[in-house]
Structure 1
């Protein structure tokens, strides 16, 4: 059996492969170091150029299963992919720890007024009486209660927060004080201190956080996006932040990445922007490897694969 591995993951995965597996490596430009006409399994890399991804797919007539290290797969569901009969599995779960920790970082940055404190330090100014908030008893609304949303809830409860969640079906989950259905989350916005976006990008969620939603939020509320930039109407968000509809935002993802230098989000003092790095961890490659090797064993023995994506739903 022949598989494709990205060059940056091959050194971690190859030592764990059965001896009868032949590996072809692919780089970030889609260059392959061997014949791929009979490749059955493809572990895709983190492509930023969709045309490269489609180019690789076109060279794989025998492909049956594709494993993505990403949790979100909207960028992989291209027309070229959707017209093929390929099983797609994602990396759901492997990013939950670092991303959920990052969400707590965003909340603490806002609650403890760290931006102002850093400015005081840079100015060599000792100021008493800086207003600081607590996370304890604050209300957190998590839109999307998958692996990442649940990991955020687990950590937020340790801080004594009131945790609400929105999911397709309003079924109870550990660490959530309230769960509502997909059409009810807007009614919770006026009571939320923090709103975290942790839902996949699909046609239904594109532009989900629009001007109407932002208007419903408290003026003291803080929006956090660690999912996909296009879930937020960016123009509406700039207006909301500029005019004080909400207190601020923590953005690890934006509509256009890298964020263009001229984008007004860079200059807003109530925005904390990070370069889509919340999932990074020294343990990431280890988790990617463990998931793929487990799924490979399942594939070879005819067992159900973990994290199979519903290509119509988009996650």
Structure 2
């Protein structure tokens, strides 16, 4: 019997999904769901073998770690795990899985929306409408034939690439191993992505935050970008040097930027990005979708079945690299 801690806010949904999964005799899970709230005591949590950190606050999560000495698996609903105590999980041999890919579809759609906004003169059209001004000569372009460099080819990166391919874009992908990516005409590894900056019309970052990726896109990289290029970030905010980006948008030749993640969130009211005409400031909402919750719960329940029946789980985080 596996005891899994879930927050009361999702208990009924997890129970329903597990009940439906129980119709499959091959993988019938033997699971005891322990519904808790943020005030659950250490004694309440002590028997946990597994837990999902969904709606569980920091104090509740720390009590879980301190009390559940037999904990073997934790699940992060989000893809990013840079704030998790990875070293402690390594020492205790606790497996960590994450929600990578759960929000990939809405995020990829947001990326394409910003790219279309950049080439179609959307803001200028809206401004003309507000001024009651007929402006048929507003400059516009097309995505067809444009080049996009996608940094990171996990779930989000692949969904971006698939949608960019539908628009007839030239697609280059960059990942840690240089592994080929479907619909990308070229894939590079290591530092080779920097050599493509001078050719890419769009640079889309989907990168996690690690010691290697922190401020990976800085002044030197931005200066190498093709004049008029756009930078789109749906990875972690701290992967970009925001001061250098603001400077390039003001003084350099970068065409524009669309950021959905920021080093400091909420973005301070006095941050210069708010006032830049060629900057799209998005409040970390690109993944918003009613379908995201269902996908996230189904992923967790699928892994819970796997955990309870000693089968390999999906979305296992490599604790040595942080994603």
Cα pair 1:250 1:273 within 8 Å, conserved: yes
Flag structure 1 segments of 5+ consecutive residues without an equivalent: none
Match of 1:41 in 2: 50
TM-score when normalising by structure 1: 0.93
**Any idea what SS the aligned residue of 1:9 has?**
helix
Q: Distance in 2 between matches of 1:98 and 1:128?
A: 31
Determine which of 224, 231, 249 is the counterpart of 1:241: 249
Q: Which range is displaced more, 90-99 or 74-83?
A: 74-83
What's the counterpart of residue 178 of structure 1?
Answer: 186
Corresponding residue for residue 286 of structure 2: 278
- Residue equivalent to 2:33: 23
Q: Supply the distance in 1 between the matched residues of 2:235 and 2:97 (Cα, whole angstroms).
A: 18
Give the 3-state SS of the residue equivalent to 2:213 in structure 1: coil
Does the C-alpha gap of structure 1 residues 274 and 216 become closer, same or farther in structure 2, counting only changes over 3 Å? same
Instruction: For 1:1-315, list aligned pairs within 5 A.
Output: 1-17=2-18, 21-27=31-37, 30-32=38-40, 35-45=44-54, 53-77=61-85, 80-315=88-323
Cα gap change, 1:260 to 1:15, in 2 (>3 Å): same
Runs of 5+ in structure 2 lacking a partner? 20-28
Q: Taking structure 1 as reference, are residues 23 and 303 closer, same or farther at Cα in structure 2, changes over 3 Å only?
A: closer
Cα RMSD over matched residues? Answer: 2.0
Q: CA deviation at 1:11?
A: 3.3
Maintained 8 Å contact 1:2/1:23? yes
User: Can you list the C-alpha shifts for 1:248-292, whole angstroms capped at 9, x where unaligned?
Assistant: 111110000111111111111111111111112111121112211
Aligned length: 312
Residue 4 of structure 1, CA deviation: 1.6
Q: 1:46 to 1:99 in 2, by over 3 A?
A: farther
Deviation sequence 1:44-89 (CA, Å, 0-9, x none): 1267x75664344223322110111112211224555454321001
Give the secondary-structure state (helix, strand or coil) at the position aligned to 2:45. coil
Is the 1:37–1:60 Cα contact (8 Å) retained in structure 2? Answer: yes
Structure 1 match to 2:26: none
TM-score by length of 2: 0.90
Q: 1:46 to 1:153 in 2, by over 3 A?
A: farther
Preserved contact between residue 146 and residue 170 of structure 2 (Cα < 8 Å)? yes
- Shift of residue 117, structure 1, vs aligned partner: 1.2
Separation in 2, partners of 1:84, 1:240: 45
Secondary structure in structure 1 of the residue aligned to 2:168? coil
Question: Is the contact made by 1:140 and 1:162 (CA closer than 8 Å) also made in structure 2?
Answer: yes
